[in-house]
């Protein structure tokens, strides 16, 4: 397809690609890594300081229901550049992906590259007379394969590449600090920060391209880990955190907040330079992200985060400013997806659309002009046949309803996003016809795009899982009891950064966490003596379905189950009640829908004396 397109341009240049005119806008595309919907001020953050991004929203249009094409990075990035769903191009996981031991399903033999037969957005813009520049994170190279060297940005339509390579995050000697170890980027001086260095390159490119229409694709490495920022910014936000009054409703991390400030300054510096050169009125700016943030606290009240099937994993902060076209300070609540940028930018540039290329995309130009009544599409799809923090799944949004299908066991989850944007009420049982109707549409879509499906693993052995769990419990050092005001608390395991005593410190911001792939996991409290118990309050950090049991013992050896929950409904705050007398109280999680076993707080309820 690519070579046919080149030939068409050569033979019919005047009809396929219009000659450059002063009306053709420059394009600056800001793509942020792992940015949560709620990490930006204009989308809800009060801790992070993002005045320049907020001003971009004030000057343009904010999309309140914009999605990435995948819950992880590489597929979403390919979807933007190809205008196709990851399921169609078979690039469905971050490169090179997870490899879970003894999985129930065998993942498909997926593609780790954008095929050269495709015409990328950068190539289409280049053929139309635009100078094209890539800066930052690429992560679209087939790591470990023979054609690895054939897939740098310059092999896919960009005239120049600064910083783009196989890395999914900074891995240079100084990580985000100099030296950087990235292609065509000076290593810098001691203390130099990567975001600033890349911004300097962006400004240098704008200076060199100001006489031509240009397409600057600024793909930040920030705010992906490692989380690090200059010391003065970390100190600034540590002081701010001390007096912050909403610590449990959004992400509060001083180093991360410093990274956000530098991101915001970068956007501001680029825009200021455009104004300085008199290019701001003829430059279309896109600001978006490759997937959701790494913490549910970054999801603006939505459920889930990066690498999960829920809204927090794919809803992204998205702004488009097109002077003279978008109404300043406007908002659009039409569901859109990253694929849509391909035809949008071609149409904005006055170039012919390539419908055989951007098969899964629709131009946003009518929406940018405020003509939402012309929008007809009401379906979006996601296809993730891989293991990560989630199990393999597919999803469809049609109108206000979203259906998730988990491929291991066929479990369905149905949500009405208009009434329940946080996906807390699974309607699959109460509305089976709606669930089955959406499932049928999603299966038809998978067939139409040739989406690869995982298959039963012929060597899967459930006994190995049982042995693994048992072996892990015997090999993993059980967390030593920690004395608290409520007694000695211990657990089957924990994360070093989320220790067991966090679960009973009276602070919902902290938590105990243990590996959800290695259930069962338990946490227990030794009260020191037998006490009359009326129940237990448990606050799970992540809203998901959880199978758990409450057990009691008088010697810490022989346990009696006094309460058990095996509901498939999403839970978060649990308050089981019972009447017993015991010295030891234990909560054991046997299974859960996704993520880590995390308890923010739990507390025994004592019977009235």
Q: What's the fold here for domain 462-606?
A: Jelly Rolls (2.60.120)
pLDDT confidence tier of residue 508, bands split at 50, 70 and 90: confident
Give the count of beta carbons closer than 10 Å to the beta carbon of residue 388: 20
For the chain, give the mean pLDDT.
90
CATH 3.30.1120.10-classified regions of the chain: 393-455
Give the mean model confidence (pLDDT) for residues 443-454. 98
Summarised one tens digit per residue, pLDDT across range 142-157 is: 998 999 999 999 999 9
Q: Is the pLDDT of residue 454 over 50?
A: yes
**Three-class DSSP category at 444:** helix
CATH 2.60.120.260-classified regions of the chain: 462-606
pLDDT confidence tier of residue 183, bands split at 50, 70 and 90: very high
Predicted TM-score of the model (pTM): 0.78
Summarised one tens digit per residue, pLDDT across range 191-225 is: 999 999 999 999 999 999 999 999 999 999 999 99
Summarised one tens digit per residue, pLDDT across range 551-598 is: 999 998 899 999 988 776 778 889 999 999 999 999 999 887 767 788
Q: Is the pLDDT of residue 18 over 70?
A: no
CATH 3.40.720.10-classified regions of the chain: 2-97+109-240+250-376
| Proportion of the chain above pLDDT 90, given as a percent | 76
Confidence at residue 75, expressed as pLDDT on a 0 to 100 scale = 98
Cα 248 off chain centre by: 20
Q: Is the pLDDT of residue 20 over 80?
A: no
Query: 136-147: buried (b, 16+ CB within 10 Å) or exposed (e) per residue?
Result: bbbbbbbeeeee
Judge contact between 155 and 118, C-beta under 8 A.
no
Confidence at residue 12, expressed as pLDDT on a 0 to 100 scale = 35
What are the respective helix, strand and coil percentages of the chain, to the nearest 5?
30, 25, 45
pLDDT confidence tier of residue 519, bands split at 50, 70 and 90: confident
Confidence at residue 495, expressed as pLDDT on a 0 to 100 scale = 74
Summarised one tens digit per residue, pLDDT across range 95-115 is: 999 888 889 999 999 999 999
Based on the number of CB atoms within 10 Å of its own CB, is 21 exposed (0-12), middle (13-18) or buried (19 or more)?
Answer: exposed
Confidence at residue 401, expressed as pLDDT on a 0 to 100 scale = 98
Question: Which one of 3.30.1120.10, 2.10.60.10, 3.40.50.880, 3.20.20.80 gives the CATH number of domain 393-455?
Answer: 3.30.1120.10
What's the CATH number for 2-97+109-240+250-376? 3.40.720.10
Confidence at residue 464, expressed as pLDDT on a 0 to 100 scale = 66
């Amino acid at each position: 397809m690519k070579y046919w397109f080149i030939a068409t341009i050569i033979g019919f240049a005047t009809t396929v690609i219009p000659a450059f005119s002063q009306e053709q806008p420059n394009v600056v595309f800001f793509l942020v890594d792992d940015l949560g919907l709620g990490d930006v001020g204009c989308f809800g953050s009060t801790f992070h300081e993002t005045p320049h991004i907020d001003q971009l929203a004030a000057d343009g249009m904010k999309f309140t229901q914009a999605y990435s094409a995948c819950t992880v990075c590489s597929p979403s990035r390919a979807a933007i550049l190809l205008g196709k769903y990851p399921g169609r191009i078979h690039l469905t996981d971050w490169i090179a992906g997870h490899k879970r031991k003894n999985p129930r399903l065998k993942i498909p033999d997926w593609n780790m590259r954008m095929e050269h037969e495709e015409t990328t957005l950068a190539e289409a813009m280049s053929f139309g007379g635009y100078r094209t520049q890539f800066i930052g994170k690429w992560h679209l190279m087939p790591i470990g394969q023979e054609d690895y060297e054939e897939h740098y940005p310059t092999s896919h339509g960009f005239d120049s590449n600064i910083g783009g390579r196989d890395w999914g995050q900074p891995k240079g000697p100084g990580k985000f600090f100099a030296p950087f170890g990235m292609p065509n980027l000076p290593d810098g001086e001691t203390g130099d920060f990567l975001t600033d260095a890349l911004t300097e390159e962006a400004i240098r490119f704008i200076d060199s391209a100001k006489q031509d229409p240009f397409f600057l694709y600024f793909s930040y490495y920030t705010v992906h880990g490692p989380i690090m920022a200059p010391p003065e910014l970390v100190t600034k936000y540590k002081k701010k955190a001390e007096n912050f009054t909403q610590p449990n409703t959004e992400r509060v991390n001083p180093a991360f907040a410093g990274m956000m400030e530098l991101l915001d300054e970068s956007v501001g510096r680029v825009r200021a330079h455009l104004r300085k050169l008199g290019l701001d009125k003829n430059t279309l700016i896109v600001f978006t992200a490759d997937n959701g943030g790494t913490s549910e606290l970054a999801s603006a009240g939505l459920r889930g985060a990066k690498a999960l099937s829920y809204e927090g994993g794919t809803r992204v902060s998205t702004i488009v400013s097109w002077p003279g076209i978008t109404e300043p300070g406007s908002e659009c609540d039409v569901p859109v997806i990253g694929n849509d940028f391909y035809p949008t930018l071609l149409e904005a540039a006055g170039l012919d659309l390539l419908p055989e290329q951007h098969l899964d995309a629709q131009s946003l130009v009518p929406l940018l002009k405020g003509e939402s009544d012309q929008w007809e599409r009401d379906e979006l799809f996601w296809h993730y046949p891989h293991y990560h923090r989630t199990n393999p799944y597919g999803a469809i949004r049609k109108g206000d309803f979203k259906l998730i299908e988990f491929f291991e066991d066929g479990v369905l989850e149905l949500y009405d996003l208009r009434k329940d944007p946080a996906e807390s009420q699974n309607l699959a049982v109460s509305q089976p016809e709606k669930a089955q109707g959406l499932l049928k549409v999603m299966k038809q879509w998978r067939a139409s795009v040739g989406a690869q499906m995982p298959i039963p693993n012929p060597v899967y052995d459930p006994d190995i899982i049982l042995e693994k769990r048992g072996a892990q419990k015997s090999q993993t050092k059980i967390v030593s009891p920690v004395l608290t005001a409520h007694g000695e608390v211990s657990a089957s395991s924990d994360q070093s950064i989320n220790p067991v005593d966090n679960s009973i410190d009276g602070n919902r911001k902290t938590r105990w966490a243990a590996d959800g792939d290695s259930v069962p996991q338990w946490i227990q409290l030794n009260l020191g003596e037998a006490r009359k118990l009326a129940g237990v309050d448990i606050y799970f950090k992540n809203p998901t379905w959880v199978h758990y049991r409450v057990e009691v013992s008088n010697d810490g050896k022989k346990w009696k189950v006094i309460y058990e929950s095996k509901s498939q409904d999403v839970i978060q705050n649990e308050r089981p009640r019972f009447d017993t007398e015991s010295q030891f109280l234990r909560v054991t999680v046997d299974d859960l829908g996704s993520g880590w076993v995390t308890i923010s707080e739990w507390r025994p309820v004592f019977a009235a004396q």
